[in-house]
Structure 1
Amino acid sequence: MRLPITAIPPIIHDLQRASGLSATVAGLLTSIPLLTFAIFSSVFTKASQRWGTSHVLLFAFLILSLGAGFRVLPQVVALLLGTFLIGLGIDGGNVIIPAIIKERMPEHPTRGVSLYTTSMVLMSSLATGVVGLLTTKYSLTTTMTGLFLLSLVSVIGCLLLLGDHSAETRPAAKAEPRLPRSIWTDRLAWLITLFFGLQALLYYSLVTWMPTIFQSVGYTPTVAAMLVTILQLACLACALLTPLFANSKGGKRFMLAVIGLGFGCGSVGVLLPIHTLIMGGLLALLMGIASGFSFNLAIIFFTQKTSNGRETIEVSGMAQTFGYLFATVGPFSFGLLKSWQGSWQSTLIICLVLAITIFITGRLIERQETVFQDQP
């Protein structure tokens, strides 16, 4: 689900040449999906309660594939419409898949989350490296057609899910008990929302601006790009390691400490007067590990801090509505602050404050068992 977003930056210049996109409009190809996540997450939550998680997920991925098909056409309107539809489809998956993991793997939700996030990060990393190479050997149209065909894998997966009669596929509203009250009034749900929002803001802001920040302290553009690649690969490693820590309070506390130190020290470490390749690699590794653990832990909170699939999808929809709104605002705000201050110092200090905040938020989440636990 990350591939349709991360595949675009390496070929953005080819898309501009082929379709006549301006630089400003081209930027919408990555910002539209994030805005879509923020606006429509609650819609998919309600739809899944009425028609069932598996059916709505199939509909979401059909929309995603339709959007990928539109992007094959080298026209501005088709690109923007396709990107919007892709954002809708991904949003459906973002909201619904944690609930399906909770429903289908109730005894092993952490394993399901690990497989889910590992596959996303792996495909995201491959897309960044492979798509640009494909356009050098084949035409842009051929590359975009390949991405469209690849999107159909998600549709096939949903059809297999619907064909699995060993698991319950009734609508969530009938299969699960009613919520004792609105999820929007629950303190733990808001803490999980804040945690998800902070990790999304930090990840997307760092991925957007760290190449520029590294260059501003003396790294070459090539080295800066390599350091951000290290950051993203570290996310992949964390997805694989998460099950080792996530099933115990001690393990999650360790992850939270690494998240706080990684985001905090990794960010302000750039301000140190040491700009060697080893130092840059260490800082990128710290930020990447923090990003990987925080994203995986946020998804795990969706499943571990809820009692059933109905609660999971409610918390997932709520958290991702605000979380991706944070993610959309973050890169813009960081860039605006840099323009005002003339340097990245204030921005990096804010990252330190956010790192402390996400650590404290995670600890507060760990002190409660599940949502609605304070309900009489």
Structure 2
Amino acid sequence: MQRRKGFTALGIVLVAINMRLPITAIPPILPNLQQASGLSATVAGLLTSIPLLTFAIFSSVFTKASQRWGEFKVLLIAFIILSCGAALRILPQVTPLLLGTFLIGLGIDGGNVIIPAVIKDRLPNRPTLGVSLYTTAMVLMSSLATGIVGPLTAKFSLTTTMVVLFVLSLISVIGCLLLTDRHPADTVKATNTTAKLPKSIWTDQLAWLITLFFGIQALLYYSLVTWLPNIFQTVGYDANVAAMLVTILQLACLACALLTPIFASSKLGKQLMLWIIGIGFGLGTIGVYLPLHTLAFGVTLALLMGVASGFSFNLAIIFFTQKTSNPSETIEVSGMAQTFGYLFAAAGPFSFGLLKSWSGSWLSTLLSCLVLAIAILVIGFLIERHTNVFQ
């Protein structure tokens, strides 16, 4: 039993390696890709927006597929698709790059929807540990990729970098195989993964609250990562300092992944996380416009927003596992939340930029973040008032 848990933990970590890395590795080498393939600036932007749109459109497809063929089999297929996409991106041509990015988005989407159910199935008594392993590996590899791909491309070549990303994608396929390998004793337990739901998840109040929580945190994270460098520069920070502050924000997410099991194991701990999320997003964003632009103050704001982003994402995944009774319910909630959540996320950067254009200032955008911070705090406490979906 202990050995199987070890394989499960390793499998979750290996799969998580490629849950963000293939996306975050691209922006630092985008100029190289444009030069090698002839991508225009507009088309090059699709390399980061295609995956988000894929998450929104295909999450429900993976939900239905996993119910029909089983989540472990579909997860393996998803990461084989991801590896095929990574292989296509080795070719420095427009069509293979775009098609490869689409396939990578499909693969990651499969992981987004199914991994929470895998954690629920394989670690039913310790879901917070599974979530921590998953998000820690995901954020760590994402951060490392952002910092390494540029120097790697400069020292060797763009092709070498894309080959390395392909090889890393195969590691997650191995992780899927570790998770797919079932012990005979698990057969009875596995029947829960196709349990019939008492009613449609789309009619459940708690499921909609979890969907709103996931959607708001995704919108805030992707919008802030997109626009904060510009916002910091607008209020007086140097461009290099602004970039560093956004890096600090992302590294703070990693610390939250490690701390999540400590807080999420109790009701009081989760309530504390919710207050940190609300205060972090609220004060962190509106504080940018205060007339205090020292490095120490900027780092404090970045940490506030980073901790809020990290805890909100981890808590959203924990809601998927703690507020459901079996893996079948977990997949339904996960698929529903991520369908709408990534629609929010994809629209967020565009909407924030449009709001700035209309108002002529980032203040209206930051005030919107304050409103969203209050909303996610209230929604989180409403979620905690419920025990499970369908109850």
Bin of the TM-score, shorter chain as denominator length: over 0.9
Unpaired segments ≥5 residues, structure 1: none
Of residues 236, 254, 267, the one that matches 1:249 is 267
Question: What is residue 34 of structure 1 aligned with on the other side?
Answer: 52
- Residues 70, 194 of structure 2: 8 Å contact kept: no
Matching of residues 150-229 of structure 1 within 5 Å: 150-165=168-183, 168=186, 175-229=193-247
Deviation for aligned residue 1:339:
1.3
1:279-300, CA deviations, whole angstroms, 9 ceiling, x for partnerless residues?
A: 1000000000000000000000
Distance 1:167 1:150, change over 3 A: farther
Kept in 2, the 8 Å contact 1:50–1:171? The answer is no
**What is the root-mean-square deviation of aligned Cα atoms in Å?**
1.3
Q: Which residue of 1 aligns with 2:258?
A: 240
Query: What residue is the counterpart of 2:9 in the other structure?
Result: none
Deviation at 1:163, TM superposition (A): 2.3
Query: What amino acid sits opposite 2:306 in the alignment?
Result: G
Please report how far the alpha carbon of residue 166 of structure 1 lies from its aligned counterpart in structure 2 after TM superposition: 5.3
User: 1:92 corresponds to which letter in structure 2?
Assistant: G
Distance in structure 2 (CA, Å) of the matches to 1:306 and 1:162: 22
Contact residue 200 and residue 324 of structure 1 kept, 8 A: yes
Paired letter, 1:156: I
Partners of 1:172 and 1:364 in 2: how far apart?
31
What amino acid sits opposite 2:307 in the alignment?
Answer: I
Give the corresponding residue for 2:14: none
Match for residue 331 of structure 1? 349
Residues in 2 aligned to 1:228 and 1:189: alpha-carbon distance in whole angstroms? 32
What's the TM-score, normalizing by structure 1?
0.97
Give the match for residue 375 of structure 2: 357
How far off is 1:23 after superposition?
0.7
Identity of aligned residues (%): 77
More divergent stretch after superposition (79-88 vs 156-165): 156-165
Equivalent pairs, count: 373
CA distance in 1, matches of 2:199, 2:192: 17
Flag the 1:307–1:13 CA change in 2: closer, same or farther, 3 A: same
Other-structure match for 2:111: 93
Q: Residue type of the partner of 1:181?
A: K
After superposition, residues 132-147 of structure 1 pair within 5 angstroms as 132-147=150-165
Q: Structure 1 residue 44 and structure 2 residue 62: aligned?
A: yes
CA contact (8 A) 1:44 1:317 kept: yes
Distance 1:178 1:49 in 2: 10
State the Cα distance separating 1:162 from its structure 2 match: 2.0
For residues 347 and 166 of structure 1, the distance between their equivalents in structure 2, rounded to whole angstroms, comes to 54
Q: Deviations over 1:70-98 (max 9, x none)?
A: 10000011100000000000000000000
Task: Call closer, same or farther: CA 1:340–1:169 in 2, change over 3 Å.
Answer: farther
Q: Following TM superposition, by how much is the alpha carbon of 1:42 offset from its aligned partner in structure 2, in angstroms?
A: 0.4
Deviation at 1:61, TM superposition (A): 0.0
Contact 1:188 1:370 in 2 (8 A): yes
Q: Which amino acid aligns with 1:131?
A: V
1:106 partner SS: coil
Whether contact under 8 Å (1:5, 1:30) holds in the other structure is yes
SS, match of residue 178 in structure 1: coil
Structure 1 Cα separation of the partners of residues 187 and 286 of structure 2: 48
- Mapped contact 1:52–1:171 kept (Cα < 8 A): no
Alignment pair present for 1:74 and 2:74: no
Deviations 1:209-243 (Å, cap 9, x if unpaired)?
00000000111110001000000000000000000
Structure 1 residues 221, 302: closer, same or farther in 2, change over 3 A? same
Q: CA deviation at 1:160?
A: 1.9
Change in 2 beyond 3 A, CA 1:143/1:175: closer
SS at match of 1:168: helix
Distance in 2 (CA, whole Å) between partners of 1:169 and 1:326 is: 38
2: distance between equivalents of 1:78 and 1:171? 42
Instruction: Select between 195-204 and 161-170 the one with higher mean Cα deviation.
Output: 161-170
Query: 2:358 is matched with which residue?
Result: 340
**Per the alignment, do residues 174 and 101 of structure 1 end up closer, same or farther by CA in structure 2, a change over 3 Å counting?**
closer
Q: Is the 8 A contact 1:50 1:173 kept in 2?
A: no
Instruction: Report the TM-score when normalising by structure 2.
Output: 0.94
Residue type of the alignment partner of 1:240? L
In structure 2, C-alpha distance between the alignment counterparts of 1:36 and 1:119, rounded to whole Å:
22
Q: 1:161 & 1:222 partners in 2: Cα distance?
A: 42
Tell me, in whole angstroms, the C-alpha distance in 1 between the residues paired with 2:48 and 2:245. 21
CA distance in 2, matches of 1:247, 1:171: 24
Moved over 3 A (4+): 166-176
Distance 1:161-1:303 versus aligned 2 partners, 3 A rule:
same
